[in-house]
């Protein structure tokens, strides 16, 4: 087999990113947008010593798990991996992927609990970050192509609520009327970089943040007027963020309020939360409630001190207190984003929560400070970013805090598996873990895992 060959291939497996895998003369061939059970014709575009990559030309015999693609941008956009696969099969794939990662990386041969499906598979996202492109017709918006920063135009994304389309149409109208340009990463010139939208599903509140390569937002009054006309009372916040750096990071350090307030409000697990532009908040609110309920189920009556080391705006800790009882319980949260920690403090006050403390700082450094205060939490909760937990942090938790249990909420099965192995070596045994689908149609999946101190009788 060589580059530019056309081959017939049966797809027998999927990668963790949802790419189909078949074997041709013993070599693994990866073909995107295929399903297990497909027989396809593929054009070989890359040949390596141990694998090849093919481009799908034709589905000769479709798999029973295949469905009709409902998005015109699917073949180009890098957002979704499973628009061509039935949801029940997508769930099976994700559960198996989590299990495989735990065994391959973590050397853990424990069957995961049944995967929890998302209550909604369309329009579930409450946050979007649209990159801006430009052509002969003015600016356009959409999402990046896979493994690139090439903007694929997409005016209607099925993962976003309909109000996002209205907001983006208003921004485009404003930009075209005022002849604004899109930022070009190569030349580092141009004005509009991204549009960040946040939506409070329970409240209907919408935030619009215009990310610009400049110091001020021109024609701000006109943008406010157009957005209010399109969105009516839903628009509660218009801000601009200054990002003039040559970077892949979307938001710069400075955000300026133009209209309304600098946050939106939403509700999760019967607790109201204020969410600022830079704060972390699960993008699928209704599925996140199911995830947090799983974590809350591990809290027992004698668990009095709860430490949340990646607390964000306080969603997990405050939700757990609300579900498990606030009386005689203490919550200590740690978060590195300043606006998020301020949100967390205010959310606790607004919700009438007592005995809460929220600390600004890196989780590992803050854990060292908390250790020096001789705190002894009954439960430690971690919800780290995709890179997982620092090994030093895990050792501080095990050696210095020594909680009865550790609840680990993960957005990446690979780093969960790695950290599960480390925790096992330092005295914390994985008791069970549950995949929860917060990201239908994409390759991502969350997990909630319970680790128990091996000396504990739990």
Segments making up each domain of the chain, as ranges: 1-66, 102-118+284-453, 127-267
pLDDT averaged over every residue in the chain: 94
Q: Please state which CATH number belongs to domain 102-118+284-453.
A: 3.40.50.150
Q: Roughly what angle, to the nearest 10 degrees, separates helices 315-324 and 338-350?
A: 20
% of residues, the chain, pLDDT over 90:
84
**What digits encode the pLDDT tens for the residues 21-35?**
999 999 999 999 999
Q: 422, 450 in Cβ contact below 8 A?
A: no
Residue 458's pLDDT is what?
44
* pTM (2 d.p.): 0.92
Domains 1-66 and 127-267 share a fold: yes
Per the annotation, the verdict on 448 as an active-site residue is no
Instruction: Provide φ and ψ at 205, rounded to 5°.
Output: -85, 140
Q: Could you tell me the CA-to-CA distances from 30 to 56, 110, 342 in Å, in that order?
A: 10, 28, 46
pLDDT per 10-residue tile (average), the chain, 458 residues: 93 88 94 95 94 95 94 86 94 94 96 97 96 91 86 89 96 96 91 97 97 96 97 97 93 96 96 94 96 97 94 96 92 93 95 94 87 88 95 93 95 97 96 97 96 73
Burial of 221 per CB tally in 10 Å (0-12, 13-18, 19+): exposed
In CATH terms, the fold of domain 127-267 is: OB fold (Dihydrolipoamide Acetyltransferase, E2P) (2.40.50)
d(CA 97, CA 99): 5
Query: CATH classification of 1-66 is 2.40.50.140, yes or no?
Result: yes
Coil, strand, or helix at residue 2?
Answer: coil
Active-site annotation holder among 71, 411, 447, 448? 411
Residue 456's pLDDT is what?
52
């Amino acid at each position: 087999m060589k580059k530019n060959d056309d081959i017939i291939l049966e797809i027998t497996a999927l990668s963790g990113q949802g790419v189909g895998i078949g074997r041709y003369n013993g070599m693994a061939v990866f073909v995107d947008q295929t399903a297990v059970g497909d027989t396809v014709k593929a054009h070989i575009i890359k040949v390596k010593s141990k694998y090849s990559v093919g481009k799908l030309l034709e589905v000769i015999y479709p798999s029973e798990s295949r469905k009709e693609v409902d998005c015109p941008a699917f073949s180009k956009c890098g957002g979704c991996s499973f628009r061509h696969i039935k949801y029940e099969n997508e769930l099976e794939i994700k559960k198996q992927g989590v299990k495989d990662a735990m065994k391959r990386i973590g050397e853990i041969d424990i069957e995961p609990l049944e995967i929890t499906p998302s209550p909604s598979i369309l329009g579930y996202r409450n946050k979007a970050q649209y990159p801006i492109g430009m052509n002969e017709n003015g600016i356009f918006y959409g999402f990046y192509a896979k493994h690139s920063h090439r903007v694929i135009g997409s005016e209607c994304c099925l993962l976003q609520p309909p109000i996002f389309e209205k907001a983006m149409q208003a921004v485009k109208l404003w930009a075209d009327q005022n002849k604004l340009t899109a930022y070009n990463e190569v030349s580092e010139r141009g004005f509009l970089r991204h549009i960040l939208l946040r939506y409070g599903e329970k409240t209907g509140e919408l935030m619009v943040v215009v990310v610009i390569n400049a110091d001020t937002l021109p024609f701000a009054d006109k943008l406010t007027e157009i957005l209010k006309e399109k969105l009516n009372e839903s628009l509660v916040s218009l801000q601009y963020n200054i990002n003039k750096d040559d970077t892949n990071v979307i938001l710069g350090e400075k955000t300026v309020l133009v209209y309304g307030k600098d946050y939106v409000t939403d509700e999760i697990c019967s607790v109201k939360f204020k969410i600022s532009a830079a704060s972390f908040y699960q993008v699928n609110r209704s599925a996140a409630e199911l995830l947090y309920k799983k974590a809350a189920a591990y809290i027992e009556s004698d668990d009095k001190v709860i430490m949340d080391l990646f607390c964000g705006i306080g969603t997990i800790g405050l939700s757990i207190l609300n579900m498990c009882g606030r009386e005689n319980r203490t919550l200590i949260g740690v978060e590195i984003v300043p606006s998020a920690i301020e949100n967390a403090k205010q959310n606790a006050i607004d919700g009438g929560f007592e005995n809460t403390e929220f600390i600004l700082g890196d989780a590992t450094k803050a854990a060292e400070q908390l250790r020096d205060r001789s705190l002894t939490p009954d439960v430690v909760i971690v919800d780290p970013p995709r890179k997982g937990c620092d090994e030093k942090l895990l050792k501080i938790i095990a050696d210095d805090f020594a909680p009865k249990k550790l609840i680990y909420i993960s957005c990446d099965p690979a780093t969960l598996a790695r950290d599960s192995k480390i925790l096992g070596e330092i005295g914390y045994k994985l008791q069970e873990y549950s995949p929860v689908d917060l990201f239908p149609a994409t390759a991502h999946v969350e997990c909630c895992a319970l680790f128990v101190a091996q000396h504990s009788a739990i």
